Amino acid sequence: MSAKKRISIIGCGSIGTQVALAIKDRFRPVAELVAVCEIHSEKKEIFDQQLGFDVPLRTLLECVESSDLVIEAACQEVVPDLLRQVMLLNRDLLVMSVGGLLLDPSLLEEVRSKRVRILIPSGAIGGVDLLKSAHVGKIYSVELTTKKPVEALREAPYVIQAKIDLDSVLGEKLIFEGKASEAIRAFPQNVNVAATLSLVGIGADRTRVKMMTSRHLKKNVHEIVIEGEFGRASFVIENEPSHKNPKTSLLAAFSAIATLEKALFGLEIGT
Ligand SMILES: NC(=O)c1ccc[n+]([C@@H]2O[C@H](COP(=O)([O-])OP(=O)(O)OC[C@H]3O[C@@H](n4cnc5c(N)ncnc54)[C@H](O)[C@@H]3O)[C@@H](O)[C@H]2O)c1
């Protein structure tokens, strides 16, 4: 019998915890969690309680060294560093903070020329498979409208810098419209889907993003419209927020686990 795949997780929050539970139960015959990296000790304590045992706490580099596959579920800022380290040590990397892949375009080019395996789950959206197929032909436009509850946007750099008074929002309000490359910096914790669409489709400067909010909204909603040589496609995804983190959709963790399943068992269905 072949050895189990050694996995480490960066970030013991909402997604990290759900993925760790899946490794412990669903993937037990083929994978084991060997280390985690977490900057907040209280998050690590809760994580261990939920798993039922103490997972070794390591630095970012130690996590990469000790595992075959690293799962990033922390924040955009760690991604460039992680990319450098997995390239150096020839490890696989699953990235949830997809916006981090666009912070240093030269690094992404380097990744493309190396033999490392970078897994990017569809995350909180559907339609990535269609966009991948459509990209074989010409794509004319990709538009994403994201609607989030007021609470999910309070700490966004753009909201703070532009002094947007979210408490005065009554009905639905458009608070940002622009390129995905701008949205990724303006709403780093909210626009991973814009980053994913940009990477698969026509790039962060041509992918258009609108960010809307409403006091009455309880779900994270993504509306995607793709036009190209293939025709036109539109998707509406109404996401339930994660129980632990209202900024994150439940589907995002499900998508990470489904991507892990594909990587561990090798059965690939869909584009
Ligand atoms: N691809 C997608 O569609 C998608 C969807 C939802 C969330 N995300 C992204 O996935 C990431 C994780 O989301 P979450 O809901 O689990 O967030 P979370 O806030 O619940 O958990 C993140 C954890 O990472 C830890 N952390 C932050 N910086 C760290 C660092 N430098 N080193 C180690 N640990 C660090 C935090 O303390 C926290 O415990 C976020 O960046 C989020 O934006 C992506």
Average pLDDT of the segment spanning 23-31? 97
From 15, 118, 197, 199, mutation site for ligand 1 pocket: most ligand atoms within 8 A of C-beta: 15
Picking from 109, 82, 85, the residue whose alpha carbon sits closest to that of residue 97 is 82
Average pLDDT of the segment spanning 187-202? 92
How many angstroms separate the alpha carbon of residue 233 from the centre of ligand 1? 30
pLDDT (0 to 100) of residue 184? 87
Ligand 1 atom with minimal separation from the 188 CA: 43
Render pLDDT for 86-101 as a digit per residue (tens, 0 to 9).
999 999 999 999 999 9
pLDDT (0 to 100) of residue 243? 82
Contact 215, 226 (CB under 8 A): no
Q: For each of the domains in the chain, give its residue range(s) and CATH number, in order of start.
A: 5-123+251-265 (3.40.50.720), 128-240 (3.30.360.10)
Average pLDDT of the segment spanning 135-156? 94
pLDDT (0 to 100) of residue 68? 97
DSSP 202: T
- Please say if 243 is a catalytic residue: no
Band of the pLDDT at 244, cuts 50, 70, 90?
A: confident
Q: What residues are paired with 92 via a beta bridge?
A: 69
pLDDT (0 to 100) of residue 151? 86
Does residue 244 or residue 195 have the better pLDDT? 195
The pTM (predicted TM-score) of the whole model is 0.95
The Cα–Cα gap between 107 and 87 comes to 10
Q: Is the pLDDT of residue 141 over 60?
A: yes
pLDDT (0 to 100) of residue 2? 63
Average per-residue pLDDT for the chain: 94
User: Residue 101: how many CB atoms within 10 A of its CB?
Assistant: 25
Count the helix, strand and coil residues of the chain and give each as a percent rounded to the nearest 5.
40, 25, 35
Q: Is the pLDDT of residue 247 over 80?
A: no
Residue nearest to atom 3 of ligand 1 (CA): 123
The C-alpha angle 220, 194, 266, rounded to 5 degrees, equals 95
pLDDT (0 to 100) of residue 191? 82
Strand 92-95 relative to strand 172-179, pairing: unpaired
> Which one from 40, 216, 222, 243 is the annotated catalytic residue?
222
Q: Is the pLDDT of residue 36 over 80?
A: yes
Q: Report the length, in residues, of the chain.
A: 271
